[in-house]
Amino acid sequence: MTTALLALALLATPAAPADLGWSEQNGDRVLAVAGDQVVTLSDIRRELAPMARGLRGTAEERDVALRKAAAEVLRNLTDRAIVLSEFRSSGMVIPPAMVQAEIDDQVRRQHEGDRLRYYASLRSQGITPAEHRRQTEDKIIFDYMLGQVRRSIGEASPARIQAFYDANQASFARPEQVRFRQISFLRRATETPEETLRRAEAARDAVAGGKPGAEERFVAAAKAGSDDDYRAEGGDAGWRAMADLAGTVAEALRTLPDGGVSPLLTLDAGGEKAHFLLLRTGFRAAGTAPIEDVRQQIAAKVRDDLGNEAVRAWLERLREKHAPQPR
């Protein structure tokens, strides 16, 4: 595809030479053919529309950016065309009910189930319902075909995981962290500050003694009377960076052993006194996370990279097979 041809993909192109007729200035044209699929100038314009409207800079800078984007869009659309051609040449079909279900889901998600709003949106984009149905079917096919390639990839091997971990140590640096449970006592609408404090002290006493163990008592007290979003989880606040915690809280947690319960802490919460009990359940010093802690994260990343490599290799084979021809 020539640079001049790609430049025509602008939504608002510079004035065309006066010696060109209207149809030559504004007509659609085929840019590439892949099997029974074609990529047209209007396809490029439609894909470039959102980006073109947001371009900034000088006219020359906008032109360079638009030409670069047009080349990338053309490559992506050509790849899509050869994937669709491969699917259809295989004799496979997408059930109409699957396409309709996807359209119905779009109407629910994007237009609150209102068909009139859906049709109005299509009109504003210059798309007919039939064209939108075809676009939806094409997307289902494209996603299905790429998904099949990705699913063919096996699990990441331990050797690959270890190699990725060794090569990306800096990515697994973590700050000093602590895991803890908390019980919060905020003044309720019907309470005086003194009553809130007495309620906190009663919970502290319940946690401090008796059976079963301290953590079990703490969980029960949190579920029974905590005033924060961790109540349902027995006060479990998860792993938190020490640097993100209030100084009083961080200091209390740093001095506790795992399983230890803090004294009742009182902090200012928007002009009111709030009381907290903390139970430390884990601690991690600053440093590099051990591979055991990030193995699943690495496995997902390695498998994603392998999937991307497989898709690139598959597309290269399809390009050779279908040999998209520029026009």
Residue 237: give its domain's CATH number: 3.10.50.40
**274-301 mean pLDDT:** 95
Distance CA 63, CA 72 (A): 14
Distance CA 107, CA 101 (A): 10
Give the pLDDT of residue 27: 57
On whether residue 120 sits in a domain, the answer given is no
Average pLDDT, the chain: 86
One-letter amino acid at 140 equals I
No. of helices (H) and no. of strands (E), the chain: 12, 9
On whether residue 113 sits in a domain, the answer given is no
What's the pLDDT band for 14 if we cut at 50, 70, 90? very low
Total Cβ atoms within 10 A of residue 235: 26
pLDDT digits (tens, 9 = 90+) for 196-220: 999 999 999 989 876 678 899 999 9
> Has residue 23 got a pLDDT over 50?
no
Total Cβ atoms within 10 A of residue 280: 20
Distance CA 96, CA 93 (A): 9
274 and 182 inside one domain = yes
pLDDT digits (tens, 9 = 90+) for 291-324: 999 999 999 999 999 999 999 999 999 888 876 5
Whole-prediction pTM: 0.61
Give the pLDDT of residue 210: 65
Q: What is the dihedral of CA 34, 49, 12, 120, to 10 degrees?
A: 110
From 58, 92, 126, give the residue that closes a domain.
92
How many domains would you assign to the chain?
2
Distance CA 169, CA 165 (A): 6
**39-65 mean pLDDT:** 81
Percent of the chain topping pLDDT 70: 88
From 71, 92, 113, give the residue that closes a domain.
92
Question: Which of 49-52's residues contact partners 24+ apart within 8 Å by CB, and which partners?
Answer: 49/11, 52/10, 52/11, 52/12
On whether residue 270 sits in a domain, the answer given is yes
On whether residue 182 sits in a domain, the answer given is yes
Nearest partner of 31 among 67, 87, 78, judged by Cα: 78
Give the pLDDT of residue 4: 37
On whether residue 327 sits in a domain, the answer given is no
On whether residue 30 sits in a domain, the answer given is yes
pLDDT digits (tens, 9 = 90+) for 123-143: 998 889 999 999 999 999 999
On whether residue 254 sits in a domain, the answer given is yes
- Coil/strand/helix, residue 217: helix
On whether residue 199 sits in a domain, the answer given is yes
Distance CA 167, CA 162 (A): 9
Which range of residues forms the domain containing residue 223? Answer: 176-285
- Phi, psi values for residue 204, rounded to 5°: -60, -45
Give the pLDDT of residue 321: 81
